[in-house]
Chains A and B, each alone.
Chain A
Amino acid sequence: MSISRSTSILAVDFGNVNTRSILIDLVDGVYTLVAQAQEKTTAGFPHGDVGVGFVRVLTQLSVNTGRRLISNEGRVISPEQSDRTGVDLFLATATIGRPLRTILMGLFGEISIASGKRAASGTYVDILETISLGENRTLEDQLNAITLARPDLIFITGGTEGGAEEPVLELAQMARMALRLMPKGVKPSVLYAGNSAIIPQIHELFDKLTGIFIADNVRPTPERESLESAQKSLAQAYNAFTEKRGLGFDVIAEMSAIGVVPSAQSYQTIVDYLGRSVRGGILAVDIGSAVSTMSASVKRYTATSIRTDIGLGHSANVILNAVPISAIREWLPFQATDDEITAYTLNKSLRPATIPETVRDVYFEHALLRASMRTLLRDSRPTWTPDTALDNLNTPMPYFERIIGAGAALTGTGQPMLTAMLLLDAFQPAGVIRLQADPHGLIPALGALAYIIPEAVVQVLDGRSLEDLGMAVSLSGIPRKGRAACRVRVTDERGEVTTHNIMGGTIVSIPLPLGVAANIQVSASGGVSINGKRRLKIDVIGGTAGIIIDARGRALPLERSVRGLAGQLPAWYEQATGVKHAIPDEWLSGALPETSKVEEPAAQKPRRGRRKKAEEAAVEEPILSVTGDPQAEAPPKRRGRRGQAAEAPPPPETKGEDIDDLRNLFS
């Protein structure tokens, strides 16, 4: 198989609930997403083998495309044959199963251990223990901590380049002793990312005992951190672990051109690439069944956080350890006890693929979803810059030009406007933002493909293969309910004009068919703005949710009483879905919840004559209010600058440069 000449590409992503496949092919000389299919993952009962779901999803893809992709023996047909059966390239990615159980060793907690933790945050790693030289435990305690934890990996860091060697060797010797004590067949692999001067000794210590990965020093100097090499080695270790652990992954890895790549790695890759081609930042969030991922590109610096304790299926039983019940209750328009919320999460983990059937269940599900996304946002924020600029949670959020959502709970609502609303609720961006969804698992596939055919990634992303939910315009400040918050004038491609008055406190979809261009002019009423501006004129393309106007205000003025929420949330759902929810009176009474709701300061109402202060207060709402960057917060421009978009798109870069960017990323 000549990878450089590959024209047809098959990618399969194994999630904990769903196995998704996509087929990319050259159409008129451009790599294009031509088909997708989805089946249930079959790693659990009754099959215990991902291969069953793999065959099913490829059979379905074959049926959808009329093109045979899989042999009778269940193997991908490759390379592509003259009769168009098969594909040139097959790739596999996975989020499935438990993370790599890892012991992290380093010299000092705040230096090498801290860097090791940051390197591990980009892949499916569960750090069971950290062991450092400076700690109080005896050698016996440390050995027992390692051996009884039954890790899959021992990750050794420590020492700066040209620095002391002896202490790092001491750590490595302890790891070796632990390895020697562990029974054959369960010995963990070793990843070394410390002082490179002792790499020969490291090989000597471990080569005959177990598999070893060597990476660049995560902390070459006390001031500098270098994580990329260690992150790649962690991905390799995950791949090796995936192949070893059964469930049929050994067969899949053998067919795949690059083994089984962790999906989160793909998020980092794709968000990093997208972040290089836009002026604002990029935020991608995937709330999966067992694992959630958030990647953010801010000023061309990309960081990815993976949480195995946040998930709306398999991990729902542990989600309450990460997400406070009070944060969930903020989104419930009825009384719910702690036990009822806990029971919902536990039952969800017992039946991870379940879709909410009742009105009450949809509120539980979406409350968990929003609270999970907000927790991820809060916890990930400090990693978005190499310095400490965003560590203070009161600092305004950076501006994101695009937000991409993934995960069945988010993308499987069957209502694009509802998906858009959930993203807006969780991140509360102000101004103009493009909302996208990835229902087919395109990002995991493209991230893996980027290592091999970067131009295919660029072309598929340019081809609008992600679902465009639409351009959202979110008003800052607190619009008054029952009064027009803004006026939107839409001029379509034929020059036809429609005008919409958007009432304060509502979220509205203005119909504009998918892919159809239009120009919109938004005029904000008194007391509100579009990211600091009073008027906005911008060219947009219709999404599956049309054009989204969020006139509910920023920070989102959520009611603080259950009765208030019972009036507010169903109205928003009705605006997003057209379906009216009836909240029975008896849902509003009943025993008070065991945990009282966290009281937040009341949303500041703009007072006449003090609009600007009110706007500033809204913009400076701390922590979870995603607001624009200082540039975006510039004072409103003078009237009369017709035709100039408020969010001027960045100068287009050539495709060649795009590909070079991506190539450089992997060189």
Chain B
Amino acid sequence: MTYEIYFPNHRHLLTSTLIRRERTLPDTGGRIDVNPMTRVGLNDVIAHTTAPSPYVVIDAVRFLKLRKASDLDALMEVHPGDKIEEGQTIAVRPRGKRLISPITGSLIYVGEGRIILQETAETVEVEAGLNGMVIEVEQGRGITIEAYGAVLQGMWGNNRRTVGTVRIEPDEGVENIFRDAMDIELRGAILVTKRQIKKVTLEVMEDQGFIGLIAPSMDVSLIDDAMKAPGAVLLTEGFGNMRMSASHITFLEDMRGRQGTLDAVLPAPLEPRLPEVVINVPLTGTNRPPAPNTTQPLRRGDPVRLGSGAVGRVVDLPKTPVLLDNGLRVMCVQVELVAGEKVIVPLANIDYLG
């Protein structure tokens, strides 16, 4: 690795940019309902898919007391691919026993004396989640939407996506919103809190009906609660007791009252998405903002975010490893923080914000 060509990690904090996002179907496949060059809104359904559902295996030879498995075909009232209702006759012996469907679903397979049914799968709608243009459709796989807006990418999400208006918590904090005093503004909102999430925060979320929560951090003991929360939860910093960085606070305060999509992706190895909030920001003039440059090597002057959450600009890229206070000797970068302080941090620990 040479410093002239160090490619940093990317975690966007952009007030206006071109955003391209894929909306992919699960590996069970599905049907895409939009065409290329179609304009879509935040809540538009762009595809339908089904969740996997279990099979029911019936030993028909035994039930109908048949001599041979091949005798079953002649007794079938429904055939593979047919829809069936619970209680519907599937097969019947002449003047004899009836085989009744125990489920509503479809008949999948008849063979070797067995009948296999599958319960009706739950249909799942896939929403666009962005106001933009469909620029690519790959049937059976997903679509790509292009939009303009502001984007903030965080560290962790509870695997939910929601669309709502960005609101900032009251000065006294989310926890002090009284449960009996319903705040109509918060219903259906994405609420920003500068404080660590506590159990009561998630309880207030449920009581007040806000559908999204953006917070700096959360105690690890609340992960299960957050996964069951009624809306999307995004952590900007991570787990433990960490404060939200000033740049994130400023960004979110500037977005107060705007509509946005909180896509709280649960991070996973090779997940090509990060948890993020994308906010609709009206474009001014005719100039369109460019897409983030994700192919550029790190340079002096680049805006970066440190592991601690602090934000600054690169002022130097030392060419040899630097001895840290903890004894490690690693490649580092010197960053001037917003407050003017200069710090040396491992190169691997910074995120490029652009």
Contact = CB atoms under 8 A, between A and B. Distances in A.
Interface in A163-214: 173, 177, 180-181, 183, 185-186
Given A40-B7, A349-B267, A181 B330 contact: no
A350 B267 contact: yes
Interface stretch (B84-92, B164-172, B203-211, B271-279): B271-279
Nearest to B326: A362
B250 to A, nearest CB: 23
B324 A357 contact: yes
Contacts of B5: 56, 59-60, 63
B294 A148 contact: no
Interface in B307-352: 307-308, 321, 323-330, 345-346, 348-349
B286 interface: no
Interface in A42-97: 43-48, 52, 56, 59-60, 63-64, 96-97
B108 interface: yes
Nearest to A142: B57
Contacts of B1: 37-39, 60
Contacts of B323: 414, 579
A581 B327 contact: yes
A351 interface: yes
B94 interface: no
Given A40-B9, A59-B5, A98-B269, A347 B238 contact: yes
A358 interface: yes
A314 to B, nearest CB: 4
A139 B54 CA distance: 13
Given A573-B327, A579-B326, A44 B271 contact: yes
Contacts of B295: 52
A140 B59 CA distance: 10
Nearest to B220: A342
Contact of B9 (A97, A173, A353): A353
Nearest to A139: B57
Interface in B1-42: 1-2, 5, 7, 9-10, 27-29
A415 interface: yes
B271 A353 contact: no
A64 to B, nearest CB: 8
B326 A356 contact: yes
Q: Identify the interface centre among A97, A186, A290: most chain B CB within 10 Å of its CB.
A: A186
A461 B319 CA distance: 30
A39 B7 contact: yes
B199 to A, nearest CB: 14
A122 B131 CA distance: 48
Contact of B155 (A97, A350, A356, A579): A350
Given A147-B52, A147-B55, A351-B307, A415 B329 contact: yes
Given A39-B7, A181-B108, A346-B238, A148 B54 contact: yes
B230 interface: no
B69 to A, nearest CB: 13
Interface string B108-151: 11001010101000000000000000000000100000000000
A96 B270 contact: yes
Interface residues of B, number: 54
Q: Identify the interface centre among B28, B155, B328: most chain A CB within 10 Å of its CB.
A: B328
Contacts, number: 162
B327 A47 contact: no
A551 B52 CA distance: 60
A372 B307 CA distance: 24
A63 B156 CA distance: 37
B325 A579 contact: yes
B273 to A, nearest CB: 6
A340 B269 CA distance: 23
B257 interface: no
Nearest to A579: B327
Interface in B176-228: 219-221
A63 B3 CA distance: 13
B330 A414 contact: yes
B294 A354 contact: no
A148 B53 CA distance: 8
B328 A414 contact: yes
Contacts of A665: none
Given A97-B270, A342-B220, A355 B7 contact: no
A437 to B, nearest CB: 14
B224 to A, nearest CB: 13
Interface string A331-358: 0000000011011001101110111111
B56 interface: yes
Nearest to A574: B327
B109 A359 contact: no
A143 B117 CA distance: 12
Given A183-B29, A314-B269, A343-B220, A355 B328 contact: yes
A32 interface: no
B81 interface: no
A150 B27 contact: yes
Contacts of B321: 414
Contacts of B10: 45-46
Contacts of A140: 55-57
A45 B57 contact: no
Given A44-B271, A46-B292, A347 B239 contact: yes
A357 B326 contact: yes
13 contacts: A37-B1, A39-B7, A45-B274, A56-B5, A143-B116, A147-B52, A150-B27, A183-B28, A186-B28, A342-B220, A343-B240, A346-B238, A357-B326
Given A39-B1, A581-B327, 12 more contacts: A46-B294, A60-B5, A63-B5, A97-B270, A342-B220, A346-B238, A354-B346, A362-B327, A414-B330, A415-B327, A577-B328, A579-B323
CB-CB nearest 10 A-B residue pairs: A414-B329, A48-B272, A577-B327, A579-B327, A140-B57, A362-B326, A355-B346, A343-B240, A314-B269, A343-B239
